[in-house]
Structure 1
Amino acid sequence: MAMIEFSQEWKSGFPIDTVSKAPLLLSKETSESLIGPLIFNPIPESLAHLFTSPALAPPLLNPPPHLSLTRFISTSTLADSPLPHSTASSIAFSFGPQDLHFSSPLVAYHRLQFLKCPHDDTVVVFFSTGTNLDRVGFLLLSVKDKSLVATGDQKGGIFTASKSLGSKIVRVLVNPIEDDSFLNGNYSFSGSFGYLLVYTMYSVNWFCVKYSESMKRPVLSYLGCKNFKSCGIASACWSPYIKVQSVVMLENGALFLFDLEADCSDMYFRGAKLKVSWGDEGKLGDCKWLGCEFSWHCRVLIVARSDAVFMIDWKCGGFDVTCLARIDMFSAYALSERERFLAMSRAVSDSLHFALVSETMLVICDVRKPMIPLLQWAHGLDKPCFIDVFRLSDLRSNSRDDTHDWANSSGFGIILGSFWNCEFSLFCYGPSFPPRKGSTALEISKFSSCLYAWDHPSGLMLSGDDCQRGDCLVREQFWKEALPEWTDWQQKKHIVLGFGVLNNDLSSLLFEPDEFGGFVLIRLMSSGKLELQRYCASWELVKNIEVAQRDPMLHSEDNLLYFMGDEEYKVPRKFKYFELNYLHAHLNGNLSQVLDSSMAKPCECPHEKEMFSLEFHEVLCKKLKICGFGQFRTSPAITVTFNDINLPTSIHEVALRRMWAELPMEFLQLAFSSYSELHEVLLDQKRVALEFSVVPELPQLPPFFLRKPSNHSSRCSRKVQSSDALVGPALPLAFLSTLHELRNGCPNSQEETGGFSSESELNVRCNEVVQVAKEVAVSDSTTKLQDDNAISLDDDRDDFLDHSEKPKSFLLYHPTACQLSFQVHKEDNCVYQDDKFASMITKVHEKQSPHPEKVETFKLEFFDDLCPIDLKFDAREVKFSSQESKISNLLKKNFSKWQEEFTPYREFCSRFTSPCDKMA
């Protein structure tokens, strides 16, 4: 047992924070005496706003929805829903697994990159900008009078690269140049002190950062690009050894090596594809490639995938692939069966270590010890996608006390978190204790890889205004739950989109030395602000921060993550709220009760007592008759609604048309009117006109097809008068049908259902439409109506066709898309089938005699025998010349020939024997 206790492999098998006494966790006494404080708190009085611009705000026009794709597609699970839940699930399943945390590259990656100027104390901050985040922008940070100043262009804006990349930038990567004397290629690199690698979804672009003597500032010079058309880009990295080399990894695992000196032709980089043979490891399945980093040699790469990490070695010419870690290594402590890696970062201590994070674990690995972790934690964060390793000397710089100098030079800190969740934690580690000079332990420590966790991980409040008091946390949690279901709280709150730690030389010019040291953080907020915040090392996490002592609702502005435009938004955001009590009653199934109680109350508004004048009544009746309503007074409504079918119409639409046809003229006057007779609505002590669509002039019943929007304006003046066109319906059918039922004494109400229901009445009308369709329509063999009270049209189809002498003038069919939906229901053992919406009825035109070769007037019936359904056009007749008639007939003949050879069209006609015989 004594041998096992000293085994590094045995100790690393117990992650920190999963067991009470982890073997690789230093005791609190050791950390206090030798290591020092490892908790970093923001200093409220150090907060400074460096720069504010809409160009820094993210133009997130379509924020990632909080709802899953299934919930986003399915609007309801009621029996009469147009899209049932099972259909939405099948559609979402075809897109594969969805992860809301990675739905937007804007919040999945770091948006700030820093580059130190070698000639002075200036730092260049790079970021993506533009209306589509397709351009590189930068600012200059310099110290003046012990204050950090952000400098932009002469107009007070940001500096931008002259080259626009044409698509949204995913990441910007910086590679500093310490000595550019070795660069002697075809380009002039004089004054260069860094490179930028900028990649979008399908292209990689390279820039050179130079110092312009004439402008007295850094400038960006575009070097070239590489486009990938067949596959998207997963990641990229710079070589720390050969500054002009970089590697790009595609989503399929392909790797390309680029050299800025010898690989460019007319600003287009070819790149050398690394011929890596993955073998069985190349089978992705549900896995995705995450990232790549250079290891201890310029010809050694570490490549991470969501299920494994590999080392690629091509020093000797071939490409050797070694598996360094697999996700099943952590199955004993994983909280989920679908555990996966999320991100990887190379450690700054040397090129042999790298940090790896999964959904549950944070691990430090060594390329020399495959499949054996050196140190691991249970991080407790929600899908962190950002990871970076810092030296502890950078986090505890400018200290007055040198007691912990050994810990500062030997320790490291890992910042892990997610920009979308705005939750970050700090994990500190290093050797166990400082060895004495001349001791054997000192010699062993030079090549030993034994690492220990220095205390438990601590939260890092990068936003600087979070309050850790219990009442604040509880109040913020209630605030999150109070938001609508489809709203993410991140869209209502300032979150950090990127940050950087200022180097020690500049931070010492800004602040006086602190007892234990600290660091200066430069952060980019979602509101478009660039801020400075000083953090100090402490023994305990400060739970009460003055900046955070305010109600969360006070700093929850609207649309913080939406596009703010090129200028400041000058129009105040105002939201209007209406009490839709009738809509609420309809959704709850008690509209008749609410209407009945509302009608019993005395009328208080004088406008409600006004009746239509006799003159307006005549004008409105005339308009309604022109639009087709007048014909329903002399013929049965169900017959008229079938005669009104010109385009493919669902059973549900036919039933709606019949219900409209049954309404008396006085109720239609409530639903349709002109703007001159409509009353305005009082809103914020002002009269506001409502907007409605114009009723089509062609005779047809609601729901209208392809209506024109109204040309009415709420700012109509004497010069611009309101339109007299017939508009509506201003009231929904459910309201009118319920009101009509109440006036007639509720003959259709059912006591067991609690009164009249417009939905139940609509279902009855749908069943009646099915019965009539059985008499007048030819049914498709695939159409089966499964309504409770409906009779399938296929049950009597053969017998009816044999005994019917009258040819049927309608088709009843099931579209292919709806048939696929039915198959999904069948596979899911779902008894629900949406026949009212999926069964389509359309009219078949009569067989026309052949058109003569010479046609003086072009008539719309010219197209009738090219389509199995009856078409109507809102167009005037045109005159054809003899030459035009000849060409038209030739085109028609060729199209008819194509129809005969088009298999789907022949199969469609074969379902309807009688109508297609008429077309033959």
Structure 2
Amino acid sequence: MDCSSEWKSLFPATAVFNSPLLLSGPSSRQTLGPLVFNPKPQTLTHLFSSQSLLPHSLSPPPHLSLPKFLLTSSIPPSTSSSVSSLVGHHAAHQNDAASHLLHNRLSFLQQPNSKSVIVFFPTGVNSEQVGFLVLLLDGSDFSFDVQVDKKGGVFREKTGFEYRINNISVNPMVESGFGSTNWACNSNSSAIVGYLMASTLYSVHWFAVTVKEIGLNWDSPSLVCLGSKVFKSCSVVCACWSPHMPEESVVLLESGSLFLFDLESCLKSVAPSARFRGTRLRVSWDDESGTSGSQKWLGCEFSWHPRILIVARSDAVFLVDLRLDECVVSCLAKVEMLSMYSSVKNERFLCFMIAGSDGFHFALASHSLLLLCDVRKPMMPVLQWAHGLDKPCYIDVFRLFELRSNSRNETFQWASESGFCIILGSFWNCEFNLFCYGPALPAPRGNIASEISEFSKTIYAWELPTDLLLSGCECRCGSCLIREEILKDDLPEWIDWQQKKEIVLGFGILNKGLSAQLAEPDEFGSFTLIRLMSSGNLELQRYCASWDSVKKLKEFHREFLQFEDNFLFTKEDGEYRFPRRFKYLNFDNLSAYLNGNLTKVLDSKIINHRKGPQEKETFSTEAHEILCEKLKACGFGRLRSSPAVAVAFDDISLPASIHEVALRRLWAGLPIELLQLAYSNYPEFLEVLVDQKKVALEFLVVPDLPQLPPFFLRKPSRRSNKWSQKVQRDDALVGPVLPLPVLLALHEYRNGYSDLEGMDGFSLEKEFSLRCDEVKQVASELAVPDSGCELRDDGAVSLANDREETWGSSEKPKPFCLYTPVAFKYSTMDYTMCNTFSDKNFDILIFKVHEKKHVPPGKMETGGPELFDDLCSTQLRFDAWVKNTGQNELKAYNILKRQWSKWQDGFSLYQEFCSLTKVQKQST
């Protein structure tokens, strides 16, 4: 059996029982020491608060994806499914909420030979500026003093562009390079302490961090722009500093292009803020895995040599060797390596980072695994973990002695100096884990195992991964965890819990020198963490090394845990200048209808209304007589001979769905007494109180043209909330003021049905479904369907006894056509691919085919509205007076008609429509 480290590394820690590369247990603890880091609540210190620390440019991301939003909206299901199948994937990717918080929003720069640290972060209305604060250690009380600008706010430096900064990275100067520069300030005492790089979506900006010496102290730092580069053709993925040459950096674009930039020329330039050009590295990505549109570049880092890079992509990691004239690209890792313990079909690399200072190792995280790789061992991970995190996007590597500094116990010094820690997690999900690793345990001196261990380079996982509570103020007991999950489920579907809970947006760990001066030594060591919270607070807290994680923090345990609004999505700077007014509307009927209990709510209202004082009737008899005449013109009346379904079909002119015709059928079935309640005039309306003033509500005017539903195409009102001499009080009929579901419920109540009696005889949903079945049954007999229309259902009701005449006889041509639009057909055909469904009530359209009337030659010379009958396959109706045309108008009409006919002949979808529905084309 192969017992080599390569064989052992195939078994990830926490994924297999008794992993061969896992050091755990009592014997290992005696050498490794405690590897769990718990926050110390009593050390929580508030440093600074400001909305300038928050991502102002972030708008609340929609929790519902586009497909889910469309399916939950009032859009017909077939339409929403077809639209979501076309643009849903792209829109969901663009609106992914977690993508806004991929990077750490804080970057630290330690000033040489000083007790201060500079904290950098994006700020501004669009996060387009570089903001920073100076934390100065006060030796008297072991705390930080926060230095701010003269106005009490954060220091700011503009980039010269309005692009939102995605990431800020710093490169400190070593003490040997800590020198002066003449162009930064007027005095020669100004010195560069480091470099800063701010990258946006399409640009990168370079700054020099300078300080000026005043006496024995240093003045507040300042940023000097060295140059900027805008990439117009492609977006920026990553920009990294070189650990070998402080003035060099590399930028990776979304296309895979690499650019090398050297700041040395800018430092010598008279005008350092001018834009400068980088050197494009000639790299060819003709790898075996290919490059498809689903692959995404992740980032790049410098390896062990100044001209060797490691570039990561979602499916592979490459080593780019630029030492020779011709670039050499080799593959270090592929996603297929993970096939043994994960599904390669859905597996992708998500983030990576250089591990250690030697430049040989790098950490790589996928959806399910965390890998430690070595550039000297391509295609073979050195160590693996199953991390169990949800889409981790942040990864960083620390030496163990940085986390276990300031220790009173020197027993575990070897482990602290030899071990490493990987922090992996996501800011959006508020989950971070700590993975510790290092060499094998040292053997006793003098034996063979000790001599072999000196040559062995096998790397082991030290204990199982542990949670790292960056927020430091959460109780992790079972009761609090369950209560938090319940609160998340109780939130509305369109609200993310991250908008209600305080989360960490960025953090940084102080070096052991500053951390040791802030507190007394701990038994096993500790580290000091500074974090930025979504409430705008900059906090400091210490974490101490422990043997076991603390499951319950008494200081933060809440008996009644609740989510509160935080300031993750902030408004613009400054006070709100406009008065805040809130208008409350009563939507109890709408809420009852959506919940399926409208009849019950109306029953209770009617009963309460009978018990209360009766109001005086203000209905106008004259107005209702006019309304009755208009309703009779639509086919309504107490003694109407034509059936309701016939009335609904007679009114079809423009294409209408089955659902729309069913609504017309329901309108036609209502008695005229209820229709009179649905329409009224303005003097009859009771005014409502809005902003301490009584105003009348606005409705649409009832037209003179008969139509179903009653007065569907209406005109806007000529009045407004304020009457004037120009706009007099209007007594025109308006409406409907009551929606159809309310009228149907009142109709059933009028017939003696009461929902309070506990009967199941009436349901609005059943009523709509029944009327749709009736319409489909009649339409299957009266209309010519296309090849994609199938109306006959098993539950359809025969209406043979409901009609007095037979329209669909075989001798006569059918007067209607059924047609399914192309978009609806695609939604039905692609059911298995896009997981959509088809609804015949909305997908299939029905319209009346008007008869071609012969126009006498004399009539053609002064034609009226009948001239337009040849332009459309449907019947056109005009709600306006049309003047007869003259010779000039008729000539122009004939020209337009020929152009229209030519367009129809060249439009394939129209030709398909005519062939499927057997509609006669218009003649020229």
Aligned partners of 1:468, 1:778: CA distance in 2, in Å?
A: 67
Q: Using the alignment, how far apart are the partners of 1:182 and 1:682 within structure 2? A: 72
Which moves more between the two structures, 730-739 or 618-627? 618-627
1:365 shift after superposition: 1.4
The count of corresponding residues between Structure 1 and Structure 2 is 891
Deviation of 1:119 after TM superposition, in Å, equals: 6.9
Instruction: Give SS of 1:293's match.
Output: strand
Report the Cα offset of residue 824 of structure 1.
2.2
Among candidates 748, 763, 772, match of residue 766 of structure 1: 772
Closer, same or farther: CA 773–127 of 1 in aligned 2, 3 Å: same
User: 2:222 and 2:459 mapped to 1: Cα distance?
Assistant: 41
Partner of 1:297: 305
Question: Residue 50 of structure 2 aligns to which amino acid in structure 1?
Answer: S
Match of 1:613 among 618, 635, 644: 618
Give 2:52's aligned residue. 55
Corresponding residue number in structure 2 for 1:796: none
1:646–1:842 Cα contact (<8 Å) kept: yes
The structure 2 residue matched to 1:649, chosen from 628, 643, 656, is 656
1:240 to 234, 240, 243: 243
Q: Shift of the alpha carbon at 1:916?
A: 2.3
What is the TM-score with the length of structure 2 in the denominator?
A: 0.80
Equivalence for 2:433? 425
List aligned pairs for 1:772-851, cutoff 5 A. Answer: 780=786, 782-788=788-794, 789=796, 803-804=811-812, 812-825=818-831, 833-841=839-847
Call closer, same or farther: CA 1:732–1:602 in 2, change over 3 Å.
closer
> What SS does the corresponding residue of 1:246 show, helix, strand or coil?
strand
Among candidates 636, 659, 681, match of residue 632 of structure 1 = 636
Q: Deviations over 1:45-87 (max 9, x none)?
A: 22222232333334576645555665444339xxx99316994
CA distance in 2, matches of 1:195, 1:883: 77
Change (3 A) 1:387 1:826: closer
Q: Quick one: which of 497, 517, 523 aligns to 2:525?
A: 517
For 1:391 and 1:98, locate their aligned partners in 2 and report how far apart those are by CA, in whole Å: 38
Is structure 2 residue 225 aligned with structure 1 residue 218? no
Aligned to 2:6: 9
TM-superposed CA distance for 1:500, in Å, is 0.8
What are the superposed Cα offsets for residues 484-522 of structure 1, whole Å, 9 maximum, x if unpaired? 444432232111111111233333343333333322211
1:207 aligned partner:
206
Is 1:155 the counterpart of 2:159? The answer is: no
Distance 1:56 1:416 in 2: 23
Who is 1:114 aligned against?
108
Letter in structure 2 aligned against 1:110: N
Map 1:171-190 → 2, pairs under 5 A: 171-178=167-174
Map 1:315-714 → 2, pairs under 5 A: 315-334=323-342, 338-433=346-441, 448-551=456-559, 553-554=561-562, 556-558=563-565, 560-567=567-574, 580=588, 583-584=591-592, 587-588=595-596, 603-606=610-613, 609-610=614-615, 612-615=617-620, 618-619=622-623, 622=626, 632-633=636-637, 636=642, 641=648, 647-672=654-679, 694=700, 699=705, 701=708, 704=712
Q: How many Å apart are 1:347 and its aligned residue?
A: 0.7
Could you tell me which of 734, 738, 744 is aligned with 2:745?
A: 738
Maintained 8 Å contact 1:847/1:865: no
Whether the aligned pair in 2 keeps the contact of 1:49 and 1:531 (CA below 8 Å) is yes
Q: In the alignment, what sits opposite 1:125?
A: 119
Query: Which of 23, 27, 37 is matched with 1:26 structurally?
Result: 23
Range moving further from structure 2, 627-636 or 161-170: 627-636
Deviations 1:589-639 (A, max 9, x none): x75577667756783343xx3363243x54466478779987634785656
Per-residue CA deviations over 1:233-270 (Å, capped at 9, x if unaligned) read 44343322233433333445444444456799962646
Query: Is 2:702–2:732's contact at 8 Å kept on the other side of the alignment?
Result: no
C-alpha displacement of 1:463: 0.6
Q: What is the CA distance between 1:652 and its match in structure 2?
A: 1.4
The answer on whether the counterparts of 1:49 and 1:532 sit within 8 Å (CA) in structure 2 is: yes
Identity, % of aligned pairs?
45
Is the alpha carbon distance of 1:440 and 1:225 closer, same or farther for their aligned partners in structure 2, counting shifts above 3 Å? Answer: farther
1:185–1:261 CA contact under 8 A, matched in 2: no
- Give the superposed CA RMSD: 5.3
Q: Following TM superposition, by how much is the alpha carbon of 1:124 offset from its aligned partner in structure 2, in angstroms?
A: 3.0
In structure 2, C-alpha distance between the alignment counterparts of 1:428 and 1:768, rounded to whole Å: 70
Deviation per CA, 1:343-387, whole angstroms, max 9, x where unpaired? 211112420011122233222111111233222223232332211
| Farther-moved stretch of structure 1 (461-470 vs 545-554) | 545-554
Residues 829 and 128 of structure 1: is their aligned pair in 2 closer, same or farther, counting only changes over 3 Å?
closer
Moved more, 279-288 or 490-499: 279-288
SS of the counterpart of 1:508? helix
Q: Helix, strand or coil: the match of 2:300?
A: strand
- Alpha-carbon separation, structure 2, partners of 1:185 and 1:860: 85
Query: Whole-Å Cα distance in 2 between the matches of residues 137 and 698 of structure 1?
Result: 66
Provide the rounded CA distance (Å) in 1 between the counterparts of 2:61 and 2:243. 35
Q: CA deviation at 1:105?
A: 1.8
So what's the TM-score if we normalise by structure 1? 0.80
Change (3 A) 1:880 1:546: farther
Greater alpha carbon shift after TM alignment, 285-294 vs 428-437: 428-437
- Give the unaligned 5+ runs of structure 2: 214-218, 267-271, 800-806
Per-residue CA deviation, residues 652-700 of structure 1 (Å, 9 max, x unaligned), is 11221332243334423544456775568999x9999997754565755
Q: Return closer, same or farther for 1:666/1:544 CA change in 2, 3 Å cut-off.
A: same
* Secondary structure, aligned partner of 1:281: coil
What is the letter of the counterpart of residue 754 of structure 1?
A: D
Instruction: Measure, in 1, the Cα distance between the counterparts of 2:520 and 2:730.
Output: 72
The match for 2:77 among 79, 83, 96 is 83
Q: Secondary structure at the match of 2:489?
A: helix
Report the CA distance shift for 1:657/1:533 in structure 2 as closer, same or farther (over 3 A): same
Using a 3 Å threshold, how does the CA distance of structure 1 residues 187 and 219 change in structure 2: closer, same or farther?
closer
Asked whether the equivalents of residues 374 and 449 of structure 1 are also in contact (C-alpha less than 8 Å), the reply is: no
Counterpart CA distance in 2 for 1:826 and 1:223 is 53
Instruction: Identify which range, 753-762 or 425-434, moves more after superposition.
Output: 753-762
Segment of structure 1 superposing worse, 533-542 or 666-675: 666-675
1:95 maps to: 89
1:549: how far off?
A: 1.9
Residues 404-446 of structure 1 show CA distances to partners (whole Å, capped at 9, x for unaligned) of 4333332221111111221111122223346889999999777
On the 8 A contact 1:712/1:723 being kept in 2, the answer is no
Q: Distance in 1 between matches of 2:86 and 2:8?
A: 44
SS of the equivalent of 1:542 reads coil
Q: CA deviation at 1:183?
A: 12
Kept after mapping to 2: 8 A contact 1:191/1:212: yes
Distance 1:867 1:97 in 2: 37
Q: Distance in 1 between matches of 2:536 and 2:665?
A: 56
In the alignment, what sits opposite 1:795?
none
Q: Equivalent residue for 2:803?
A: none
Contact 2:395 2:422 in 1 (8 A): yes
Amino acid at match of 2:154: I
